[in-house]
Amino acid sequence: MTLGKAIALAALFSISLLTACTPTHLDRGTYIADLTHPAKNADSRIRFLVMHYTEIDEAGSLAVLTGDQVSVHYVVPDAPRIEHGEPVVYQLVPEDKRAWHAGVSSWQGATELNASSIGIENVNLGPIGPTGPLSEGKWQPYPPAQVDALIQLSRDIVARYHIPPTRVVGHSDIAPQRKIDPGPLFPWRTLYDAGVGAWPDADAVAAHLAGRDPKAPSDVQPLQEKLKRYGYDVATDGVLDDRTRRVFSAFQMHFRPSDYAGNADAESDAIAQALLDKYFNH
């Protein structure tokens, strides 16, 4: 027998073995399900990836998230242990089950994101001082080892479930009226560079600024409309009330964390337009 024939026979044997191991019927005790006619029109329930911080230490986080009130699919420690050269994260809920991490939420027209998302809690204290504008130093940073573990986990999830960049979001993005996590120090740009989530192109932002002062006031309604199109639950009435300001602040914490005061300004407007150009004009 030639080497080529041997390889071909081995491949055929492997395929036959795989087919033989694939169940065609499933006995569930009181009935049998025939699995020989799988439908093409089906997809995963998982459409979003939501990032959080825990606000407490690792032990406390695990105690709360395995208790009776809230839950999450994954917890990333602030100092993950390494096993066989790889970081270890905690999985608390199977991915095919709903975890109670998103609460009342909305993104890109979808509500009840608990039913359609995977949640990741990062062990991080969040604000450790005043949380007003330009207060980055008053938040706990995310250590490099934690960020590396988060990248490995997130990259795997978005690849397996084909989650689009604009559907990798923070808790504050989907619930801006009541949440501020994962905060302005969350490494969104680093995640983007690793292939996870969305980020505007700097050249596009500069082009949309068109020489304007980044801090120059901008009309409220156009920015509201841009953010609504991107995914935020926001009014489009042109009024900079507290609710709209919280949405603007959430957007700025995500994409311009140096200033998240919630004002309508030229740079925020340019970033929003650059994101729409990149992800929605196709």
DSSP assignment string, 7-36: HHHHHHHHHHHHHHHS-SEEE-SS-EEE-S
Question: pLDDT-based confidence at 269, cuts 50/70/90?
Answer: very high
CB 173 within 8 Å of CB 246: no
Over residues 166-215, the pLDDT tens digits come to 999 999 999 999 999 999 999 999 999 999 999 999 999 999 999 999 99
273-278 mean pLDDT:
98
- Mean pLDDT across the chain: 91
Q: Does 225 participate in catalysis according to the annotation? A: no
Catalytic residue among 58, 83, 86, 121: 121
217 in helix, strand or coil?
Answer: strand
Beta strands in 77-210 (DSSP E): 82-83, 86-87, 90-91, 106-107, 110-111, 117-122, 168-170
Which range (126-130, 153-157, 202-206, 235-239) has the least confidence? 126-130
Query: Residue 11: its pLDDT value, please?
Result: 46
pLDDT at residue number 30: 85
Q: Compute the average pLDDT of residues 31-52.
A: 88
The confidence score (pLDDT) of residue 31 equals 87
Each domain of the chain, given as residue ranges in start order, spans: 48-193, 202-279
Of the two residues 96 and 40, the one the predictor is more confident about is: 96
Task: Give CA separation, 116 vs 44, 51, 59, 120, 224, in Å.
Answer: 9, 14, 28, 14, 25
Same fold, 48-193 and 202-279: no
Q: At the fourth CATH level, which superfamily is domain 202-279?
A: PGBD-like superfamily/PGBD (1.10.101.10)
Mean pLDDT throughout 113-119?
97
Predicted pLDDT at 28: 83
Q: What predicted TM-score, i.e. pTM, was given to this entire model? A: 0.87
Interatomic CA distance for residues 52 and 118, integer angstroms: 11
Hey, what CATH class is 48-193 in?
alpha beta
Where does the pLDDT of residue 15 fall: very low under 50, low under 70, confident under 90, or very high at 90 and above? very low
Q: Quick check: helix, strand or coil at residue 223?
A: helix
Q: How many helices and strands, by DSSP H and E, does the chain display?
A: 9, 11
Q: Is the pLDDT of residue 37 over 50?
A: yes
pLDDT, residue 13, reads: 44
pLDDT exceeds cutoff 90 at 32 = no
Confidence check: pLDDT of 25 > 70: yes
Rg (CA), the chain: 23
The pLDDT of residue 276 is 98
For residue 134 the two structure tokens come to: 């330009």
Q: How large is the average pLDDT for residues 150-154?
A: 98
Residue 10 reports pLDDT greater than 70: no
